[in-house]
């Protein structure tokens, strides 16, 4: 007879094997997405950019406390030149997302599947700052429309703190009406 620890391990192994090669958020396991996914404590280094990071990524978001996890896919391509200027920021990548935000209590915004560079479902904005560079991946076509200025609107964004090889990681925040949830995330490129 198997004890509870062995059953838990066996169940996790079966789930991880089942997730291999899948493309829907519900089927990803944390280890399948990125081994050693954990909080990133350091800020971005000067010169880091997402400019060269176009591709398809598996994403895991972990809510503070570590019990809730969301899995998904983000597809990004280089932003066409006509859509790159965002005032003090530069839009380096645009694309779409399929992430189970509700699993971590994050806001699910409309238009995540939009690939229109004028209103993308996923948008990477980069800006220099006095305390170092900032790279943010924002979600939702309304939130990513430069002609709409949301006031107290719902948001979900990934604050990218490290970019290396085929992966990036950092922390995330989401909220509406003063209620905020947050945690950390990791993303691993699975296709170019």
CATH number for the domain that contains residue 39: 2.40.128.120
Q: Does a structural domain hold residue 110?
A: yes
Domain tally, the chain: 1
Q: How does pLDDT run across 30-89, given as a tens digit for each residue?
A: 445 466 788 888 888 888 999 999 999 999 999 998 789 999 999 999 999 999 999 899
Q: How does pLDDT run across 78-91, given as a tens digit for each residue?
A: 999 999 999 899 99
pTM of the model: 0.81
Q: Does a structural domain hold residue 171?
A: yes
Q: Does a structural domain hold residue 1?
A: no
Contact at 8 Å (CB) between 157 and 61? no
Q: How does pLDDT run across 131-188, given as a tens digit for each residue?
A: 888 999 999 998 898 877 766 678 999 999 999 889 999 999 999 888 899 999 999 9
List the domain range (segments joined by +) for residue 108: 23-191
Q: Which residues are CB-contacts of 94 (< 8 A; sequence separation ≥ 6)?
A: 76, 77, 79, 83, 115, 117, 120, 122, 123, 124, 144
């Amino acid at each position: 007879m198997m004890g509870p620890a062995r059953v838990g391990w066996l169940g996790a192994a079966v789930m991880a094997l089942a997730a291999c090669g899948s493309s829907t958020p519900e089927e990803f396991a944390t280890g399948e997405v990125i081994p050693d996914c954990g909080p990133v404590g350091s800020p971005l280094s000067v010169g880091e950019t997402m400019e060269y990071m176009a591709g398809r990524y598996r994403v895991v978001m972990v809510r503070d406390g570590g019990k809730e996890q969301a899995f998904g896919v983000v597809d990004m391509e280089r932003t066409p030149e006509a859509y790159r200027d965002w005032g003090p920021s530069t839009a380096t990548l645009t694309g779409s997302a399929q992430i189970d935000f509700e699993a971590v209590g994050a806001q699910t915004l409309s238009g995540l599947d939009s690939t229109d560079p004028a209103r993308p479902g996923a948008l990477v904005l980069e800006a220099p700052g006095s305390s170092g560079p900032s790279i943010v991946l924002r979600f939702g076509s309304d939130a990513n429309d430069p002609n709409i200025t949301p006031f107290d609107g719902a948001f979900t964004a990934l604050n990218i703190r490290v970019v290396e090889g085929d992966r990036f990681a950092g922390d995330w925040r989401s909220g509406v009406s003063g209620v905020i949830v947050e945690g950390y995330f990791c993303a691993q490129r699975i296709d170019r």
